[in-house]
Amino acid sequence: MASGRPFPLNAWYPAAWGHEIERALAARTICGHDIVLYRRADGAVAALEDACWHRLLPLSMGRLVGDQVVCGYHGLVFNSAGRCTHMPAQKTINPSACVRSYPVVERHRLIWVWPGDPALADPAAMPDFHWNDGETWKGEGGTFYSLKCDYRLVVDNLMDLTHETYVHAGSIGDDAILDTPFEVTHTDRAATMTRWMIDIDPPPFWARQLGRPGHVDRWQIVTFEAPAVVVGDVGVALTGSGAPEGDRSQGVNGAFLAALAPETETSCHYFWNFVRTFRTDDEQLTRDLQRAHVNDGKGVYDQDHVVLEAQQRAIDRNPRSPFYNLNIDAGALWARRLIDAMLAREQRSAGAPQAAE
């Protein structure tokens, strides 16, 4: 790792679903930065440092009046750019009275913030997460807020789906995953793990979605985009119908979506969705698929959740124990390399803020 901090700051991170941010104050910690979010009257989202300039009370404990935040302690008022516009019992406002305002963009149904140098915040650098737009691909997901693990453990988990056989036996797990080789490719921003399982019995989850008997070709094409987005193109199609060659018409195609935001070095927010291109008007199926992932401890992601937090607890107890790498870790290793490259670039670039360290 190129720095003591495991996450770059000069990046867009998801802070909330768009529907969660209304005309009210919402607190989030992103990369160690305490941020208060709210929606302005014009519909744009503001993101301010969640600490009053005066005595550091979290502004999220105050109230929103118009587009301004009134501190809940002594009533200082800050506008959506973070500038103080009112001080109690004095006419002149100290010109240095302001809180930091963070670049924020609403895209792909999520609110993204940039905790690093605002001058470098380029909306064009936003990770591609269009599967979440709700147009071609349909689904409803959720969030694990404050999942108690380093966000990179989630990346590891999603980039190596051999864990399905053990963690998700009975739903998407399948011994074929273990027997089938995969390949990993990468660019300077992304790493992709591709596995095709040809002529297999579909695992129970996919057999139900396909609704037809017979052997299938199953694919898992999982792409990580640095620093914290993973998209898994997954599905099955009847064997011999040409899916590996590009014709998926005799199959069912889904995508698992993960946009992660480090909260601290050992906790993260995990925005997830599972979207699909089959039976897109079937609201009941949307709800069923959502429950298949998170359902009071019984969903697929609930199972991952237990493993990830237990893994972090073990790491905390044994901080010097190394990780050993197997062939199955190739995708995760590339992901971590790309994160490390971002960290190294950030360290080299003059004036990169280090506030969260």
Residues that bind Fe ion (CB under 5 A): 304
Instruction: Tell me how far, at minimum, the Cβ of 166 lies from Fe ion, in Å.
Output: 10
Q: Which of residues 239-298 bind ligand FES (CB under 6 A)?
A: none
Q: Which two tokens mark 283? A: 């609201």
- The listed partner (ligand FES, Fe ion, none) that binds 279, CB under 5 to 8 Å by sort, is none
Torsion region of 82: left, alpha or beta (phi above 0 gives left; psi -120 to 50 gives alpha):
left
- Contact flag: residue 57 with ligand FES (CB under 6 A): yes
Asked if 71 touches ligand FES (CB under 6 A), the answer is: yes
268 in Cβ contact with 261 (< 8 Å): yes
Q: How many CB atoms within 10 Å of residue 88?
A: 10
Decide whether 66 or 240 has the Cβ nearer to ligand FES.
66
Closest CA to 125 of 8, 282, 46: 8
What is the C-alpha to C-alpha distance for residues 111 and 81, in angstroms, rounded to an integer? 17
Q: Which two tokens stand for residue 150?
A: 């380093």
| Closer of 253 and 303 to Fe ion (Cβ) | 303
CA distances from 86 to 46, 47, 61, 98, 232 (A): 19, 19, 17, 11, 49
- Give the binding-site size for ligand FES (rule: CB under 6 A): 9
Question: Closest CB to ligand FES among 73 and 278?
Answer: 73
The answer to whether the Cα torsion of 314, 315, 321, 322 is positive or negative is: positive
Identified binder of ligand FES from the candidate list 74, 130, 291, 345, rule CB under 6 A: 74
Q: To the nearest whole angstrom, how small is the minimum distance from the Cβ of residue 341 to ligand FES?
A: 40
15 binding ligand FES? (CB under 6 A): no
- φ, ψ for residue 234, nearest 5 deg: -135, 155
Q: In the bound complex, what is the minimum distance in angstroms from residue 49's beta carbon to ligand FES?
A: 12
- Cβ of residue 161: shortest distance to Fe ion, in angstroms? 7
Alpha carbons 225 and 188: distance in angstroms, whole number: 9
If the CB atoms of residues 74 and 287 are measured against ligand FES, the closer one turns out to be 74
Rounded to a whole number of angstroms, the minimum distance from the CB of residue 167 to Fe ion is 5
Would you count residue 339 as binding ligand FES (CB under 6 A)?
no
Q: Quick one: 89 or 326, whose CB is closer to ligand FES?
A: 89
Give burial (CB, 10 Å; 0-12/13-18/19+) of 311.
middle
Touching ligand FES, residues 36-55 (CB under 6 A) = 52, 54-55
- Contact between 73 and ligand FES by CB under 6 A: the answer reads yes
Contacts of 135 (CB under 8 A, 6+ apart): none
If the CB atoms of residues 10 and 101 are measured against ligand FES, the closer one turns out to be: 101
- Partner from Fe ion, ligand FES, none binding residue 55, C-beta < 5-8 Å depending on class: ligand FES
Nearer to ligand FES, 87 or 285 (CB): 87
| Residues 6+ positions from 169 with CB-CB distance below 8 Å | none
Q: Which residue lies nearer to Fe ion by CB, 129 or 301? A: 301
- Phi/psi of residue 59, nearest 5 degrees: -65, -25
Q: Could you tell which of Fe ion, ligand FES, none binds residue 190, using a CB distance below 5 to 8 A set by kind?
A: none
Tell me if 69 contacts ligand FES by CB under 6 A: no
Whole-angstrom distance, CA of residue 38 vs CA of residue 1: 35
Point out which residues bind ligand FES (CB under 6 A).
Answer: 52, 54-55, 57, 71, 73-76
